Structure formats: C-alpha cells, structure tokens
Structure 1
Amino acid sequence: MSGLNITDPGHLEASNLFYRDPALYDRVQTGSDSASTCRALVDRHRPDARTLLDLGCGTGRDLELLSQHFDCVGVELQPGLVDYARRTRPDLDIRLGDMCTIRLGHTVDVLTCLGNSLAYVHDNQEIQAVFRTFAAHARPGTLLVLCCPVAPIERDGPHETQVETGSGTAHVTIGYEWDLRAQINTTRRHWVFASGEETRDLIRRRVLGPRELELYASLAGFDVVQITDGTGAGALNGPVAYTVARYR
C-alpha cells in the first residue's frame, strides 16, 4: 500500500495541510456543491429517505447541510477533525471511527462517503472492508452515494494558484504524478503564505475506475444505478464521479 494507510490517522494528518488546519480546509471548501449534488441524487433515487450515515465526514461541512434534510450521523477517522467538527458544529452527531471496521449496530436509508474519503484506502482488501461496512449499515433499498476519483489528474509540469486563507492570500504550486501500476495519483503542493511561511504537503489517492466500483459494490450486495460527474450530463467528463448504488 506504499506507506499511506487509512488506519493511520497520524500519517494522514502529517501528509495533508488541510488535516492539520481544519479551519483552512473549511474555508477552501466554501461554495462546494458536494452536499447539494448528493441531496439531488438521493431525491432522485430514494426520495423517501429519512436517515443518513456519512462515513469519512471530515469537518462535518457536508453533514451540516445534509442534516437540514436527514437525521444524520457522521464518522471520521482523524481525531483532530472530529474535535474541530464538535467545536464548530456541536449540533451534529459525529463519532470517531475507522470506516474499514466501524459497526454502529443499526441500518440507515442512505450511506454517503464524500470528499474523496475512499481514495485514501489504497489496499484492495481494505477497500472491500469499507464496502462491507457499507453493507453492515444497509437494508434492502438502502442507497449508497460515493464520491471518489475515477481517473487520474495528469498535467505537464506544475501549475500555480492562489488560496484565500483568512489571514491573507497563499501562493500554491501544485504538481501531479500518476503511478499506473498502483493506481495512485500523487499531488504535491508547495504553500507560500502571506506571512512568508512555507510548507509542503503530499496527498496520495487511489483511483478506482467505474467498472471497479461496480465490482466492489456488487460483491458487497449493492447494484449500481448511476455513475455521474455531478454536472447532469450523461458522460463522465472529470476525474471525480459520484457512484449511486442500491442495496439488494
């Protein structure tokens, strides 16, 4: 699995600036349409849904929006993100746990795994374990909405962008690497903050193609009903897709 393990929250935090600074992560993600896309998919495929479990809920940003429509529980591996979520969103039910192994002892109408959370699971057996967790909280008709990379990001050389941090603008240089054998897309970022401080981080995400996702889902008892990039168009045009599946 080449070093990064979903059961090692310390490694994840050390590798990604957003996990060390949840407030910055929340700020950068302002305006994300992930929760609204998820809600639209649930409305289309399970309009009667009332209960929702979000695995890999991070800071609870999406869960907060989804909780306006569903009775929600969130699960997150990293203690720092759980602490931040509980401080900033105290009305949410967010629990510390590993989505490879957690068992809450009940089923729900909707399971979600957003924000590329599954992409941090690199090993095939551990991916199967996550799908077993989905199945353990499902009953016939339960809907799974999963967002993860289905194709690598590849660019010729690094590119530069600006990020508003709340205390000035950071200049970020980003480069990508693609390891086809391991199906790992590596993102390297060099941050230069307005204060002059610099830091680097490295994010490694497993890419699962649509047919792979269909296979993992099927083995766990789910039938895929839609794979979409969230734009409403029929084709998949971006590296990230939403997979919607129903438990048999």
Structure 2
Amino acid sequence: MKKLNLLLFIGIIAIFILPSCEPEPQPTPTYELMEGVWELTAATQADTSILNKVTSVFPTYVQLDDKNSVNSTAGPLFMYIVYGDSRFINVTSRLDEVFSYANLSLTEGEWFIDKNKVVDNFTIEMKLRFPTMETLNNIFVLLNVDPPEIAADAMDIIVYHKFRDVSISVSDDNPDQMIWEWTDNVTPVYNTKDKYGDPVLYTGVSTDSYSRCKLTFTKRVKSLTDMVNQAVQDTTTTN
C-alpha cells in the first residue's frame, strides 16, 4: 500500500514539474495579420497630425489581399508621402481630377513581404494613375517638379511609387491595429513603364525628400466597396 501511495505521489508531482508535451502556440505570420480592409485613423509627421490633410478629399482605406494586391483610396496619402507637405498643399484643390473614388476608381498597387514569418518591414508599390496627359502636366506644374516622361508607346499614364523596408507593426496581441512607418531606412524607387512593362526611371523628384511619417490603421469588417459607398453616402448627406 505504501508503495502504491508513493507511486501515486510521484505521478502527481511529475504532472506539475515535467514540461508539457503540447507545443507552444506560434505567433501568426505578419503577412496574415496584414491581410484585410483597414482604415487610416491616425497619421503623424514629426509628432504632428497630418490626418486631416491626407483625408481631406476622401477617407483613406486600404485593402491588402493574399495575392499581393493593394486596392485603396490612398492616392492623396501617397502623394503627400512622395512630394511632401508644401507641394501637396498646392494640389489639394485639384485632386478630384485624379482620384474619382465616388465612382470606385480605386488606387491600386502591390505589397511584398517575407511570408510565413514575423517580420518588421515590407515593401509597397502604389500606382498613381492620371486620366490624361493634360491632367498629369497640370498637377506636376502645381507640385513644382518636372513631370515624368510618359513615352508615346506607354501602356498608361501611371507613375509607380515603390517603397522598400517600410516599418510594420502588427501582432496577435492587438490584431486590429497596424502601424506603418516611413523612416530613414526606407528606399524609394519611382518609375513609369513602357509598352513592354519595363520600368523607366523617374527622376523628377528626389527620392530623399519623402515624408518621414507614421500611419496607424484600424481593421474594419466591412468590404472595401461597402466602406467607399458609405463614405460617399455620408459626404452626400453632409453636403
């Protein structure tokens, strides 16, 4: 009997002191947490809010999918990042010529990241599409920079803005908040494309002058289309 009690005692102790055989849960890869529809809810540069500036035309929504596609209303935001505050102010009254979000003409792009890992940076490339050459030239005159050369055989009037090593912060602890940050470690590349889809470097604006800013996004459960339509309805009601 004593021997049996001793064995039971040893068994109970072993339960508490031996490590569990179950593997510890692994953190969700960053790219999985980034997927979905997000709304820009805070934006700062040098600790000063720029949210009202970049959302003055339309709320900023971003949809990231598992095929590396970006659909968004983030055109004004990326114009601010590329061309800076002083130049951006000059074109705010003309942005409706470029971005027709009420008609669901969204700003597209791509995003790239080291998948299946928890990482702290990613790459994003956004396409700023201009409806006509006249509009493109007018906008760039207001920006006070040389417009990109759009070749006669170009596929479309688009300027591609790529940013490598943008800081990303999102985790299982707070999966509904995502923070992007443009630091000095970011490497911008701007180009257009010819009829073959090959990049043509655009040097009209310095790649060193991008806005160092911090963007905070909040995840939304509605689809991007629903979010855009609701914003249009809210604007119509307000006016």
TM-score norm. by structure 1 comes to: 0.28
Computing the radius of gyration over CA atoms, which structure comes out larger, 1 or 2?
Answer: 2
TM-score norm. by structure 2 comes to: 0.28
